[in-house]
Amino acid sequence: MVRLMATLIDALTALQREHGHLDHLQLDALARERGVPLFRIQELVSFYPHFRTTAPKRRTVAVCRDLACRMAASDADRAVLGGLGDDVEIHEVSCLGRCDRAPAAAVGDCPVRLAEVATSIDPAPSPAEVYEGEPQGFNCDPYPDTADHYGTLLGWVRSGGDPGRCLKALDDSGLRGMGGAGFPTGKKWALVRSEHATPKYVVCNADESEPGTFKDRTILAHLSHLLIEGMIFAGLVVGAEEGIVFIRHEYEPERLRLEAALAGARARGVLGKDAAGSGQRFDIRTVVSPGGYILGEETALLECLEDRRGEPRNKPPYPGVEGLHGRPTLINNVETLAFVAPIVAEGGVAWRARGTRGCSGLKLMAVSGDVNAPGVYEIPMGTTVAELIECAGGVVGGKLLAFAPGGASSNFVAADRADTPIDFDRLAEAGTMLGSGALLVVAEGRDLLEVARNVVAFFRNESCGKCVPCRVGSEKAMVMLDEARAGRGQRRHLALLDELRDTMAQTSICGLGQVALNPWSSMREAFPEVMKDRFGGDDSA
C-alpha cells in the first residue's frame, strides 16, 4: 500500500516546533535519516513561508497586513508594536484568518488582537485557552448533547450502510462545494466511488487562507464532530480507509480542539479498524500546512502532501481520478463535509427546504470589514446581502458603498446590489460569486483604490511563482496601482491593467492568477469615474 504520511513535511514541522527554527545540522541529519538528498529538503524549506532557518527572538509577533485588518487598524493599535522591546521579533504576514478580531496578530501560536499584543508577551497565552467560555449552538447541528454525536452515522451503518441512500440525500439537498468551486457534492462522491483503483483517500481542505474567510475556523472549533462524521461517511461511501485534515498552521487552537475530538471518536469506535461498526477501516489524521495561500488549491495541496513544493498541477487528470499518490482522492472543504451528517439525518429534501427564496439549505458566512459585529453567521441560503449585514450589526457609519460576498477573489459590487440573495446562481447573475463564503463590507468614505490595491497585493504576495503570467503579471499590476496611489497614475495604465487581467485569466495555471486582478477590475467596473480619476495623469509625462 502507498504510504499516506507526508514524512518530510511532517518531520520539518515537528523539528521547527521543537527548536523554533531549522538549521543546517538539523536538515543534514534529517536527510541522512530519511535517505534523501539534502537539496530535496532544502527546496521544501525555501518554498514554504512557515519554515525558517534562523533562530527567532524570545517572542515572535505576526501582524496581519490584509484588508480587514488594514481597515480596522488605528494609529494607537500600531503604536503598541513600538514598545515591545528588542527581544521581540515583529513581522507582517498574510491573512491570519481572524478577520472578526481585526486588527489581528499572533504571539507565537496564539491569536490576539493587535491592541492586546503588549499584554500577551509575558506570559505568552496558550492556544488551548482561545475558546474557553465561548458559546456554541448551531441550527445545522442535529445533536442536542455530546453523547448523541455520530448518531446519524451509527444509525446509517446499523441499517445496512447503503451508499446509494447517502448519495441520494446529498443530491436531493442541492449541497455544493462550499470552498469556492461549488461542484455538486453528491456527484463528486459518486465519481470517486466509481473509480476502481485503490487505495483511495479522503482529504479535508482546512487551509482557508483568503482575506475575509474564517467560517471553517468556527466549524473546526465548535462543530469538529460534524466534520469527523462527514469524513467517515465519505470514506465508507467512496471506499477509502485513510483521511487527512490539512489545516493551516495559524489554526493551532482549532487543531488542538480537532485532535481532542478525533481522540474521542477513536475511543467510541467510530474511527479505527472497524469504523462505526461498518467492518471497514477508516481513520483520520491531521497535517499542518507549512504556509501559503496557494495550498488551498487542491492539486497544490496534494503536491505538499507528497513532499513537494506546493505548485498546482495541470488538469486533467483531476484528483478524483488521480489524486494523492496517483490514487482516487475525494477533496472537500470543512463546511461541505460538516453538512453531510445533518443532511443524512433529516433527508435531502428537508435540508433543501431550510433555504429561502427558492435556495437550498443553510450557509455559514464570515462577515468582516466595515460592520459593527464581524463574525460567522448561520443563515438560510437565499438570505440577502443586506439582511446578513443587518445580522452583523449594520454598516459602521450607516452607509454601504461596496461589498464582495465571496472573499478576496470575488468581484466587488456596488451597494445597489445588496438585495441580491446569497446563493451560487443569484450572486453569479449579479456579477460576482459566493466563493469562499466571506462577505467583505466597505462603507462610504473608504479609498476604493486602496481597498482594491490591498487585495491585489495579497495575490501578488501569495503567488507560488510557477507560471510566468501570475508571477510577473501580478507584480506589474502592483507597480501601476502603487503609481496611482501616489498620484502618478497614467491613462495608459488602465488599458495595460485590462490587458494584464485578461492575459492572466486565460493563461495562469490555477485560480490564483486567474482572479488576482479581479479586485481591481471589478472595482473599476462598479465605480468607473472614481477609478478613472485616479489614473488621470498625462501619458506624455
Distance CA 512, CA 515 (A): 6
Q: Give the neighbor-by-neighbor strand order of the sheet with 104-107.
A: 88-93, 59-64, 104-107, 110-113
Name residues whose C-beta falls within 8 Å of residue 181's C-beta, 6 or more positions apart in sequence.
none
Query: What distance in Å separates the CA atoms of residue 74 and residue 18, rounded to the nearest whole number?
Result: 35
Residue 66's nearest CA partner among 91, 89, 99, 112 is 99
Alpha-carbon span 226 to 402, nearest angstrom? 34
The whole-number pLDDT of residue 134 equals 66
Q: All 3 cell numbers of residue 87?
A: 527581544
Beta carbons of 459 and 478 less than 8 angstroms apart: no
pLDDT per residue, tens digit, the chain (541 aa), is: 334 444 899 999 999 999 999 999 999 999 999 999 999 999 999 999 999 999 999 999 999 999 999 999 988 888 889 888 899 999 999 999 999 999 999 999 999 999 999 999 988 888 988 887 666 789 999 998 889 999 999 999 999 999 999 999 999 999 999 988 889 999 999 999 999 999 999 999 999 999 999 999 999 999 999 999 999 999 999 999 999 999 999 999 999 999 999 999 999 999 999 999 999 999 999 999 999 999 999 999 999 999 999 999 999 999 999 999 999 999 999 999 999 999 999 999 999 999 999 999 999 999 999 999 999 999 999 999 999 999 999 999 989 999 999 999 999 999 999 999 999 999 999 999 999 999 999 999 999 999 999 999 999 999 998 899 999 999 999 999 999 999 999 999 999 999 999 999 999 998 889 999 999 999 999 999 988 899 885 554 3
Q: 48 CB contacts (<8 Å, ≥6 apart)?
A: 290, 291, 292, 304, 309, 310
Nearest CA-CA partner of 535 in 498, 499, 481: 481
Q: Are 438 and 366 in contact (CB under 8 A)?
A: yes
Output the pLDDT for position 135.
62
Burial 235-268 (b: 16+ CB within 10 A, else e): bbbbbbbbbbbbbbbbbbbbbbbbeebbebbeee
User: Which of 515, 533, 535, 531 is CA-nearest to residue 523?
Assistant: 531
Q: Please check whether residue 207 is in contact with residue 244, taking contact to mean a CB–CB distance below 8 angstroms.
A: no
Whole-number Å distance between alpha carbons of 459 and 122: 34
Contact (CB, 8 A) for 147 and 111: no
Among 440, 441, 478, 433, CA closest to 458: 478
What are the b/e assignments for 457-477, b being 16+ CB within 10 Å? Answer: bbbbbbbbebbebbeebbeeb
Residue 34, exposed/middle/buried by CB under 10 A (0-12, 13-18, 19+)?
A: middle
Q: DSSP code of 52?
A: -
SS3 of residue 47 by DSSP: helix
Tell me how far CA of residue 404 lies from CA of 80, 140, 540, in angstroms.
31, 25, 36
Nearest-5° angle of CA 427, CA 429, CA 431? Answer: 75
Q: Find the helix or strand (DSSP H, E) in which 419 lies.
A: none
Strand order in the sheet with 283-289: 283-289, 242-248, 201-206, 329-333
**Dist CA 515 CA 409 (whole Å):** 6
